[in-house]
Amino acid sequence: MDRQTEIPQIGPAVCVIESDPGMNLQLGKLLAYLDSPIIHYQSAESFLAESEGIEVGCILADGDQLGEKSPEFIAQLSQRGLSGATIIIARQANIDDAVKALQQGIADYIEIPQPDRLLLAKIRQVISRTVSASGLRTH
Amino acid sequence: MKKDNPADKPTVFIVDDDEPVRDSLKMLMRSVGLSAETFSGAAEFLEAYDPDRPGCLVLDIRMPGMSGMELQEKLNEIHAILPIIFITGHGDVPMAVKAIQYGAADFIQKPFRDQDLLDRINKAIEQDASNRAQLLETRDIEERLSNLTPREKEVLELIVDGRPNKVIAADLEVSQRTVEIHRARVMDKMRASSLAHLVRMVMRLRNPG
């Protein structure tokens, strides 16, 4: 298994899909400000295979890493009712990818780098929307 | 010659401050048999805007005076459902994200292939037709619902929640026969062909779209 998780899960988790160690470190520092469990996944495939049963508050996925697989991945998230909880972050952001992903129903598409405060606010917003839409509880 | 009713035929509304762009887009629409109208600015479009006219809006982002995004906000304020396709020569990712999050159907960068724009326009027109059909259906159901008495509405809610007549009678402290009469009236006034049909109509109002 290539994910590291804090067990038991208390409240909806932020699932980070990122294989780059540098990015993971940066995101880890940023997400420590949140009051949510953080679960790291190395790839979209490992998230899909291993996230069953997890209360998801927000999915933070690296768009550069997803590349051409992005539409297929978002379609699978939609089937699980999770596309609205998804934020794609990308260094190589482009308008067409952003538009396609949003048309598929993701919550946000963010070109990075961005100020920490802004990213955190957007993640918090998605968590609170996911919680109120699904009746999940925060701790 | 039969004259088309402009209220039924989809129109591509083109708003761009650049005249040659307006003209070439209009020609492109006409070349594939789409009817098109052009406007040199957002305010001009807003003034002529008729919510009953179907189609889609092809909107330039940057224009002197009211920008495309400002027009989108104004249209949102008045609950317009006309799909918007933004076109821009100087777009960036945050701008595109904001436009779609605020409800735009699409966002396309210049230069684009004619066919690419036409595909997106056709998709938006189809979406508009389906939204309008749904809206009509919802209004129709609402109208039927408004003919129910308060008691019939209570019975309807309980029927939809799956309660049998016996339970409804006990809940409302009336006889089962009375519930049967209310139920028959509800089915009649709602023009429901079956219980499933009735439930579907009520669910449509609870979860529009």
Give the CATH number of the domain where residue A105 resides.
3.40.50.2300
Query: What is the pLDDT, as a whole number, of residue A27?
Result: 93
Q: Report the 10 Å Cβ neighbour count for B81.
A: 14
Residue A2 lies in a domain: no
Query: What is the pLDDT, as a whole number, of residue A7?
Result: 53
Residue A91 lies in a domain: yes
The end-to-end CA distance of chain A, in Å, is 27
Query: From the list A94, A103, A110, which residue is nearest B100 (CB)?
Result: A103
Query: What is the pLDDT, as a whole number, of residue A133?
Result: 83
Residue A5 lies in a domain: no
Residue A49 lies in a domain: yes
The CATH class, in words, for B147-206 is: mainly alpha
How close does chain A come to B88, measured CA to CA in Å? 11
Q: Does B107 touch chain A (CB under 8 A)?
A: yes
Query: What is the pLDDT, as a whole number, of residue A3?
Result: 54
Query: What is the pLDDT, as a whole number, of residue B208?
Result: 66
Domain ranges of chain B: 11-133, 147-206
Query: What is the pLDDT, as a whole number, of residue A139?
Result: 47
In a structure prediction context, what are the per-residue pLDDT tens digits for chain A, which is 139 residues long?
455 555 556 789 999 999 999 999 999 999 999 989 999 999 999 999 999 889 999 999 999 999 999 999 999 999 999 999 999 999 999 999 999 999 999 999 999 999 999 999 999 999 999 988 876 555 4
Q: What is the tens place of the pLDDT at every residue in B188-198?
A: 999 999 999 99
Looking at CATH, the fold of the domain delimited by B11-133 is given as Rossmann fold (3.40.50)
Q: Which residues contact B44 (CB under 8 A, 6 or more apart)?
A: B15
How close does chain A come to B12, measured CA to CA in Å? 21
Kindly state the percentage of chain B with pLDDT values over 90. Answer: 91
CB contact under 8 A, B97 and A109: yes
Please give the order of strands across the beta sheet that includes A38-41: A38-41, A13-17, A56-62, A86-90, A108-111
Its pTM stands at 0.82
Find, among B37, B58, B52, the residue nearest to B104 by Cα: B58
Q: Which domain holds residue A125?
A: 13-134
**Residues B4-15: what's their mean pLDDT?**
80
Q: Which residues contact B46 (CB under 8 A, 6 or more apart)?
A: B66, B71, B74, B75
Structure-token match 């006990």, residue found: B170
Question: B88 forms bridges with which residues in the sheet?
Answer: B109
Residue A61 lies in a domain: yes
Helical pair B165-172 and B150-160, crossing angle rounded to 10 deg: 140
Mean pLDDT over each residue of chain B, to the nearest integer: 93
